[in-house]
Structure 1
Amino acid sequence: MVLDIVSSVLLLGGALFCAVGAFGLLRFPDLISRLQAATKPQTIGLIMVLGGAALQLNVVDALGFLLVALIQVITAPVLSQLVGRAGYRIGAIDRTSLVEDHLGERLRRDGLAPPKGRPGDR
């Protein structure tokens, strides 16, 4: 019975995290905020759902869920970084809101100047 309660809490909590992440994707104003909403809560929510489902399975079957969680944890930040870089390079990110612009400094140093101005100024 305790296992069922823990499993239910994990499943509901994971679903809540995923719903909050999806709501953030719809409501946040810019690309960087949306990337945050698309990676952090979605990853935590998926891990919680997988954990809740794994508690109801035997150990051998639950190990497959561990592999899915590991792949999610590895790929989500990498894809977020790539989408953020692409958005920066095409000018979809408002650079005035950045505290530090490390990518812009690196691009200027390498002779690949980032686009000027704010999005929509092109």
Structure 2
Amino acid sequence: MIAFLDLLSIAAIAAGTFFFFAGTVGLLRFPDSLSRLHALTKVDNLGLGLIVLGLIPRAESALSALKLVVIWALVLLSGASTAQLIGRALRRGRK
């Protein structure tokens, strides 16, 4: 069972790292600011979620696992709010 949890952790963290890398490529390759913002918010939130999923089996206690999930939820909320504000400012600046 421990080997399965190790494999699950490695796979989830590797997938999360891949999504962070894909978000970075999107940041560098997309032509306009709204496309870059979309790439960063969507892909980075998924990457962080996968990394948290990979770290949960390694957590020392249920409280530590809960802290990881709460941190991820706060990042989701703050990332969505910030992306909304930046997107609105960009749209208003274009008119």
* Pair in the same fold by TM > 0.5: yes
| Equivalent in the alignment of 1:112 | none
Instruction: For 1:72 and 1:61, locate their aligned partners in 2 and report how far apart those are by CA, in whole Å.
Output: 17
| Higher share in helix | 2
State the SS of the aligned residue for 2:66.
helix
- TM-score of the superposed pair, with normalisation by structure 1: 0.72
Query: In angstroms, what is the RMSD of aligned CA positions?
Result: 1.0
Query: Which of 55, 68, 72 is residue 71 of structure 2 equivalent to?
Result: 68
> What is the CA-CA distance between 1:31 and the residue it aligns to?
1.1
- Larger Rg over CA atoms: 1
1:12-40: CA deviations, max 9, x gaps?
Answer: 00000010001100100001110111100
User: 1:60 offset after TM fit, Å?
Assistant: 1.8
Within-5 A mapping of 1:13-32 = 13-32=15-34
- How many angstroms apart in 2 are the aligned matches of 1:2 and 1:46? 21
Structure 1 residue 76, shift from structure 2 partner: 1.4
Alignment partner, residue 59 of structure 1? 62
- Which ranges of structure 2 fall in alignment gaps of 5 or more residues? none
Unpaired runs of at least 5, structure 1? 92-114, 116-122
Letter in 1 for 2:29: R
- Give the TM-score normalised by the residue count of structure 2: 0.91
Find the residue that maps to 2:84 and give its secondary structure.
Answer: helix
State the alpha-carbon separation in 2 of the partners of residues 55 and 80 from structure 1: 31
Mapped pair 1:87 → 2:90? yes
The higher relative CO (CA closer than 8 Å, separation ≥ 6) is in 2
